[in-house]
Structures are given as structure tokens and as C-alpha cells.
Amino acid sequence: MSALRVLVWNEGRHEKQDEAVGRVYPNGLHGAIADGLREAGFEVRTAVLDEPEHGLTEDALAQTDVLLWWGHKAHEDVRDEIVDRVQARVLAGMGLIVLHSAHFSKIFKRLMGTTCNLKWREIGEKERVWVVNPAHPIADGLPDQFVIPHEEMYGEPFGIPEPDSLVFISWFAGGEVFRSGCCYYRGQGKVFYFRPGHETFPTYYQAEVRQVLNNAVRWAAPTNGPGVPVVHVHEPLEDVPVWRG
């Protein structure tokens, strides 16, 4: 079996415009995320918003098994026709892993059909990520919880559809909880939302977070199920008379 082909997409602006972020992620958030995935043996490329077609050409997507998406301040700069293209690819089987503030990305809101609203607070408080579905492959190799020392808080109610599987719930020192690992089937594709990963914290260097992303890529990998076309079936499969009213 050849390696899964992963594309890590990042807005890529915070790192250039905000010195503090650049210090934490000198190779960009995408660089740190890609490093973790490469260590796991995946074939990893990266792309950023400011490339032509946002780096998400038909060709690039055709060579992608699983796409990771980090965005925050420039959701509106993502062109609608590129969102259409990504959505079509997900519904045709490409895995999609939506990271942190990309809960407000066009592609995630498009696939959820809801506001994706939430509460947020930036005081660098402690987060504990608890496993609530220990049988799920995205929990593979994880302890029952792990701590992220400093993170942005996201709090419920989170304006998403009920996940098809809920894998993680986060606890925050300031008093909130959050559904942090949410699995969805959409068409022939799989979507995973993972909460942690604020740009000012070294979250994507943390071993447990990398384990989650590795597991998620494997879970979201395309499988070869039947398509979901619209079809006018003129002839019945079984012998049925046409009714003349």
C-alpha cells in the first residue's frame, strides 16, 4: 500500500504579520503540522491562501487523499469557486480535517449547514482533552486525557450538527467544555473537526496532538464506496407494470 497523500492547507498570514506567531511557527502552522504527518510516513505537501487558486487547483486536489485546513482571519478571502471545488472533492471521497479556528471557514460551514458559532476567550488557560469514545480509531494510542498547557478557549454551545461520532470533549480551566473531536460522513467523504491549535501556542508540536492528526488522516482516507449521483432510472430493476393512472 502506497503512502496516503496529505495536503496541509494554511491561511499563512498570521505567521507573516504577527511576530509572536512567527516565533512559535517559523515555518508556518502548515510547516509544523506537515512535519508531524511526515514523521508518521504520509506523503505530505502544503499550500497557502496566497498561492494561485489558493494552492487548491483541480490537479492538486486530484492528488490529495486527505486535506487539512487551518484558517482564521481571512476566511472571506477564500474564493467561492474554490470552496465549491473542495466541497465537491470531499463529497466524492477526499478526507477533510478542519482545524481550530477553521470552524468558521467557508468549507466547514458549507458542509455543516449551521452557524458553527461558539464562545471564545484568549487568556492562555489550560485545556484537558478527554477521550469519550475509546473504540474510535482516532483515539488510537491515546491516554484517557491529555493536557495542553496553554490554549485559546472554545466553549459550548457549538453550532454544529450532532457529530456522527464524538471522540473528544475538552475541559477548560475557566469553566467551559467543548466537543473537540467531531466525525462526520458527507457523501463519499469523511470530515473530522479538531479543536486545538491556536496560532500563538506550540500546540502542533505536542505529541498527543500529532497522534490525533495521524489517526485522523488514516480514518479520513478515501474508501472506494459507490458514488452518489442523481440518476433517472427509466427501467425498474424488478418487473413492474407502468401505471397508467
Shorter beta-carbon distance to a second copy: residue 76 or 144: 144
In three-state secondary structure terms, 122 is strand
Shorter beta-carbon distance to a second copy: residue 50 or 115: 115
Residue with cell 484568549: 122
CA distances in angstroms from 153 to 38, 133, 159, 175, 229, listed in the order given:
28, 22, 16, 10, 41
CB of 52 to a second copy, least distance (A): 27
CB of 181 to a second copy, least distance (A): 12
CB of 236 to a second copy, least distance (A): 3
Burial (CB count <10 Å: 0-12, 13-18, 19+), residue 33: buried
C-alpha cell at 103: 470552524
Shorter beta-carbon distance to a second copy: residue 62 or 228: 228
CA 5 to CA 61: how far, in whole Å? Answer: 10
In three-state secondary structure terms, 182 is strand
CB of 14 to a second copy, least distance (A): 15
CB of 98 to a second copy, least distance (A): 12
C-alpha cell at 76: 472571506
Q: Mention every residue, 6+ apart, whose C-beta is less than 8 A from residue 111.
A: 87, 90, 96, 184, 186, 191
CA 176 to CA 162: how far, in whole Å? Answer: 18
CB of 43 to a second copy, least distance (A): 18
Shorter beta-carbon distance to a second copy: residue 50 or 88: 88
Shorter beta-carbon distance to a second copy: residue 52 or 245: 245
In three-state secondary structure terms, 113 is coil
Q: Mention every residue, 6+ apart, whose C-beta is less than 8 A from residue 241.
A: none
Shorter beta-carbon distance to a second copy: residue 52 or 113: 113
